[in-house]
């Protein structure tokens, strides 16, 4: 099987040797602007999330339901995919199946060409980033314009996203001002001459820059947060309104969606429309959610169902739970490693704790980088605690570490802690302790657990231990 | 083998022998309280205000005067008004009504000052209004392109929570859930209201 492509070729090309997570992280940690931005961002969102999650008396029950709905869907994915295809087709939409990134890109390029257009507008979508759609379209003479403000910053800055929810979080306002002032004119309406670095002024510049494009575009490309098998409905959550612009104004809409985004019934949305906004932006509800079924209001609608390694993950007994992920980014915001290393260190479009498991699961562990990803964690368990679909990221990390022992990791440390990792009950207990420790930061765990704290860095004093970690490995080269 | 068959075959091979799971639904489902019940109006108003939208709670006879005042204050003169919007609510407003029949082009839509609509229902707990393109609501772009959206919500359209809304809505219709004005936090996480959607959302609750 060919390697699954997960974007970011410029940063972590599979062909480039010597790329490792600690190496990338070491460079990132030296960037104080990045560290400052990340710390501010993750702390702010973390606090917001906590307040709106605590407000719901039935959060634990919603989380259990969310987990079970996803597991049930994955168990019966074939049935539900066929049901979805029927429903979308019946509602006037066209369904395409793409086994890998190349096929998806070919299908989309073909659909765009059939319209005669050479420009498309895009809604932020992890799936299309994953398959490198923009680059593939460019090779076919089609320019894709990102319309999410953060994606626009990333695109104009010729850069890569670093966070699932706020992809340009590594940029500060004066950098953004410069990017807009220098590059907007090359892509369309230039930035105003007197552009300041006030966030409202920057947002206004983006509004003006994109408005004409929205009004003129004939083809749009989106992803989707959910697809309902029973009804054929697609659901997109967003904040800015660029999603609604793309979903409603153009004559042709092409949605590229991973096969795991399915939910069996319309009713299941009552769970996920509570779990996702609160976990993601920390709001009771995001400003805009669009739902449409098939060809709507006279539009030509195409759905491209994407595998690209997902069925491989589904076959993985331990790893398949990663397919429950609804891309809320809560696990990024609580991760002490992400907070210091930033998103680019993970070398794929999926950063943070979920990326540390999803990337090697999807892409395999043939490269140094992918083998190092399962070690991009202190196993503190905070990601598991906040995950709205209860993905046990620490357990998957441990399993992946066992599959790809890394030369520069402390084998001895892993072995000493082995008895903990072998027993799920103990691991779960330990994760709970780890979660509580995030506020207490004790030096050592008592008794037999001391072996674990002695070799695991972050539950102690995260900042120092992370540095210890990459210092010890000489920036990952050892 | 087609990619469809290939993907389905891979799925079947991957899940063979995996036990199925029951979905526990112990969370709060549809509320026993009737829509518009005591307390829901206050909760809805408070939650919409949290999103920095303008909220009024008025009795039906006062609606025409309130609408007139609101659009005058904006000021908004040329307003898109979808078919089915109650004409009586506009009696006192001095506006040029723009209809969407035949359909307005995107540029025409961009040239109106705002849009007036009703809604399909509203959710108290999350401060959300939902539009389903029914009478008085128009197609989706109508409430998106203009910079100002005034939405009228009848008290008996306000349901308690998300499960109540999902149970009442018809997925065959195009749905737009709106919770406050368009916003972004993409620049250093500073919230800026109004990017591409209407920068001002005004909600009138009719009791
Ligand atoms: S793994 Fe869980 S917490 Fe992380 S992005 Fe996915 S759903 Fe959210």
Ligand 1 within 6 A of A351 CB?
Answer: no
Predicted confidence band of residue B36 (pLDDT cuts 50, 70, 90): low
Residue B29 domain-assigned (yes or no): no
Tell me the shortest Cα–Cα distance from A45 to chain B, in angstroms: 9
Residue of A nearest to B123 (CA): A285
- Environment class of residue B92 by beta-carbon count within 10 Å: exposed (0-12), middle (13-18) or buried (19+)? middle
Nearest to A244 among B13, B176, B180 (CB): B176
More confident of the two residues A285 and A341:
A285
Residue B114 has phi, psi (to 5 degrees) of 180, -175
Output the CA A339–ligand 1 centroid distance in Å. Answer: 16
What is the model's pLDDT at position B189? Answer: 77
pLDDT mean across residues, chain A: 83
Judge whether B101 is closer than 8 Å to chain A, CB to CB: no
pTM above 0.80, yes or no: yes
pLDDT digits (tens, 9 = 90+) for A72-104: 999 999 999 999 999 999 999 999 999 999 999
Neighbours of A82 (CB within 10 A): 13
* C-alpha–C-alpha distance, residues A122 and A161, integer Å: 15
Where in the sequence is the domain holding B72, given as residue range(s)? 36-206
More confident of the two residues A460 and A158:
A158
| Contact in structure between B149 and B129 (CB atoms under 8 Å) | no
The residues, ordered by sequence, that sit 6+ positions from A208 with a Cβ below 8 Å of its Cβ are A189, A192
Q: Does A247 score more than 90 pLDDT?
A: yes
Name the residue with the closest Cα to ligand 1, atom 4.
A331
Residue B138 domain-assigned (yes or no): yes
Neighbours of B74 (CB within 10 A): 16
What is the pairing mode between strands B114-117 and B175-178?
unpaired
Q: Does A424 score more than 80 pLDDT?
A: no
Residue B11 domain-assigned (yes or no): no
Please name the residues between 129 and 188 in chain B that touch chain A, using a CB distance below 8 Å.
Answer: 133, 139-141, 144-145, 162-163, 165-167, 171-172, 174-188
pLDDT digits (tens, 9 = 90+) for A40-49: 888 989 999 9
pLDDT digits (tens, 9 = 90+) for A197-246: 999 899 999 999 999 899 989 999 999 999 999 999 999 999 999 999 99
Cα dihedral A232→B141→B103→B120 (10° resolution): 70
The stretch B92-100 carries a mean pLDDT of: 93
The stretch A315-341 carries a mean pLDDT of: 94
CA-based R_g, chain B, Å: 21
| Chain-chain contact of A284 with B126 (C-beta, under 8 angstroms) | yes
| Chain-chain contact of A297 with B139 (C-beta, under 8 angstroms) | yes
Ligand 1 within 6 A of A322 CB?
Answer: no
Predicted confidence band of residue A164 (pLDDT cuts 50, 70, 90): confident
Judge whether B3 is closer than 8 Å to chain A, CB to CB: yes
What is the model's pLDDT at position B60? Answer: 95
Predicted confidence band of residue A411 (pLDDT cuts 50, 70, 90): very low
What is the model's pLDDT at position A6? Answer: 64
What is the pairing mode between strands A219-222 and A119-122?
parallel
* C-alpha–C-alpha distance, residues A342 and A120, integer Å: 30
Name the residue with the closest Cα to ligand 1, atom 8.
A328
**A98: which chain B residues are within 8 Å (Cβ-Cβ)?**
3
Nearest to A287 among B18, B106, B183 (CB): B183
Which one of A53, A377, A391, A394 would you pick to mutate in the ligand 1 pocket, going by the greatest count of ligand atoms within 8 A of its CB? Answer: A391
Q: Does A407 score more than 60 pLDDT?
A: no
| Contact in structure between B116 and B80 (CB atoms under 8 Å) | yes
What is the pairing mode between strands A143-146 and A119-122?
parallel
Residue of B nearest to A59 (CA): B27
Which one of A225, A322, A331 would you pick to mutate in the ligand 1 pocket, going by the greatest count of ligand atoms within 8 A of its CB? Answer: A331
SS3 B151: strand
The total number of structural domains in chain B stands at 1
| Contact in structure between A246 and A151 (CB atoms under 8 Å) | no
pLDDT digits (tens, 9 = 90+) for A56-71: 999 999 999 999 999 9
**A43: which chain B residues are within 8 Å (Cβ-Cβ)?**
none
pLDDT digits (tens, 9 = 90+) for A431-449: 444 443 333 333 333 333 3
What ipTM was predicted for this assembly? 0.96
What does the DSSP assignment read for A149-197?
A: HHHHHHHHTT----SSSSTTTTS-HHHHHHHHHHHHHHHSSPPPTT--S
Percent of chain B exceeding pLDDT 70 equals 98
Q: Does A412 score more than 50 pLDDT?
A: no
Tokens matching residue A241: 């309104």
Across A51-55, A104-108, A210-214, B135-139, least confident range? A210-214
* C-alpha–C-alpha distance, residues A9 and A468, integer Å: 29
**B137: which chain A residues are within 8 Å (Cβ-Cβ)?**
none
* C-alpha–C-alpha distance, residues A169 and A161, integer Å: 8
Q: Which atom number of ligand 1 is nearest to the Cα of residue A393?
A: 1
The stretch A395-403 carries a mean pLDDT of: 93
A vs B: CB pairs below 8 A: 236
Residue A175 has phi, psi (to 5 degrees) of -65, -40
Nearest to A287 among B14, B180, B189 (CB): B180
| Chain-chain contact of B182 with A239 (C-beta, under 8 angstroms) | yes
Edge-to-edge strands of the sheet including A226-228? A262-263, A226-228, A233-238, A288-293, B175-178, B128-131, B121-123, B158-159
Range A90-99 burial, b when 16+ CB lie within 10 A, else e: ebebebbbbb
What is the model's pLDDT at position A7? Answer: 53
More confident of the two residues A416 and A255:
A255
> Residue A29 CA to chain centroid, in angstroms?
21
**Biggest alpha carbon distance in chain B?**
69
Domain boundaries, chain A: 422-473
CATH number, domain of B160, equals: 3.40.50.10420
| Chain-chain contact of B192 with A199 (C-beta, under 8 angstroms) | yes
Nearest to B8 among A45, A78, A271 (CB): A78
Residue of B nearest to A287 (CA): B179
**B141: which chain A residues are within 8 Å (Cβ-Cβ)?**
244, 248-249
The stretch A374-394 carries a mean pLDDT of: 94
SS3 B126: coil
What is the model's pLDDT at position A151? Answer: 86
What is the model's pLDDT at position A8? Answer: 45
Tokens matching residue B146: 């203009």
| Contact in structure between A470 and A25 (CB atoms under 8 Å) | yes
Residue of B nearest to A66 (CA): B23
The stretch A293-299 carries a mean pLDDT of: 93
The stretch B46-65 carries a mean pLDDT of: 96
Nearest to A241 among B4, B23, B182 (CB): B182
């Amino acid at each position: 099987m060919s390697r699954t492509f997960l974007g970011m070729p410029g940063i972590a090309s599979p062909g480039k040797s010597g790329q490792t997570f600690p190496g990338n992280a070491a460079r990132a940690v030296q960037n104080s602007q990045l560290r400052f931005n990340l710390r501010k961002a993750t702390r702010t969102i973390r606090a917001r999330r906590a307040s709106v999650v605590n407000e719901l008396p039935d959060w634990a029950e919603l989380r259990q339901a969310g987990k079970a709905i996803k597991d049930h869907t994955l168990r019966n994915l074939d049935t539900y995919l066929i049901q979805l295809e029927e429903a979308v087709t019946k509602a006037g939409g066209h369904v395409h199946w793409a086994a890998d990134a190349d096929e998806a890109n070919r299908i989309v390029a073909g659909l765009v060409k059939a319209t005669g257009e050479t420009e498309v507008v895009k809604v932020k979508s992890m799936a299309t980033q994953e398959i490198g759609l923009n680059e593939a379209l460019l090779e076919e003479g089609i320019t894709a314009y990102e319309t999410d403000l953060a994606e626009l910053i990333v695109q104009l800055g010729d850069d890569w996203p670093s966070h699932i929810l706020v992809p340009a979080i590594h940029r500060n306002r004066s950098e953004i001002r410069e990017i807009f002032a220098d590059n907007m004119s090359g892509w369309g309406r230039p930035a105003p001459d007197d552009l300041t670095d006030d966030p409202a002024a920057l947002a206004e510049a983006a509004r003006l820059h994109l408005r004409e494009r929205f009004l003129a575009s004939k083809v749009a490309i989106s992803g989707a947060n959910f697809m309902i098998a029973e009804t054929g409905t697609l659901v997109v959550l967003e904040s800015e309104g660029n999603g609604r612009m793309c979903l409603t104004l153009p004559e042709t809409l092409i949605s590229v969606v991973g096969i795991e985004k399915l939910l069996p019934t319309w009713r299941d949305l009552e769970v996920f429309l509570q779990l996702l906004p609160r976990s993601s932006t920390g709001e009771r509800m995001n400003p805009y959610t669009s739902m449409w079924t098939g060809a709507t209001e006279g539009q030509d609608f195409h759905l491209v169902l994407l595998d690209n390694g997902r069925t491989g993950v589904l076959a993985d007994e331990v790893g398949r739970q990663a397919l429950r992920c609804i891309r809320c980014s809560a696990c990024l915001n609580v991760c002490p490693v992400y907070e210091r290393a930033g998103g680019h260190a993970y070398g794929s479009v999926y950063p943070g704790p979920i990326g540390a498991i999803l990337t090697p699961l999807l892409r395999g562990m043939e490269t140094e980088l992918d083998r190092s990803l399962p070690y991009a964690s202190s196993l503190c368990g905070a990601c598991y605690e906040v995950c709205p679909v209860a993905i046990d990221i620490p357990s998957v990390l441990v399993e992946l570490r066992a599959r790809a022992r890394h030369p520069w990791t402390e084998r001895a440390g892993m072995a000493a802690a082995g008895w903990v990792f072998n027993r799920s009950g103990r691991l779960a207990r330990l994760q709970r302790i780890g979660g509580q420790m995030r506020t207490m930061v004790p030096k050592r765990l008592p008794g037999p657990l001391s072996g674990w704290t002695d070799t695991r860095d972050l539950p102690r004093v995260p900042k120092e231990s992370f540095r210890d970690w990459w210092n010890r490995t000489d920036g990952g080269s050892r | 083998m087609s990619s469809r068959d290939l993907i389905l075959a891979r799925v079947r091979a991957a899940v063979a022998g995996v036990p199925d799971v029951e979905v526990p639904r112990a969370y709060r489902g549809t509320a026993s309280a009737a829509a518009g019940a005591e307390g829901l109006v206050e909760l809805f108003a408070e939650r919409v205000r949290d999103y920095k939208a303008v909220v009024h709670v008025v009795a039906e006879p006062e609606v025409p005067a309130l609408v007139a005042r609101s659009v005058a204050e904006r000021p908004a003169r040329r307003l898109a008004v979808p078919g089915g919007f109650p004409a009586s609510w506009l009696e006192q407003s001095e506006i040029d009504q723009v209809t969407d029949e035949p359909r307005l082009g995107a540029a025409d839509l961009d040239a109106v000052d705002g849009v007036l609509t009703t809604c399909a229902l509203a959710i108290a707990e999350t401060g959300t209004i939902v539009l389903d393109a029914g009478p008085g609501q128009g197609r989706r772009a109508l409430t998106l392109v203009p910079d100002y959206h005034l939405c009228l919500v009848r008290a008996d359209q306000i349901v308690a929570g998300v499960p109540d809304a999902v149970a009442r809505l018809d997925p065959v219709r195009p749905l737009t859930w709106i919770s406050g004005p368009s916003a972004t936090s993409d620049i250093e996480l500073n919230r800026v209201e109004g990017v591409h959607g209407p920068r001002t959302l005004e909600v009138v609750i009719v009791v």
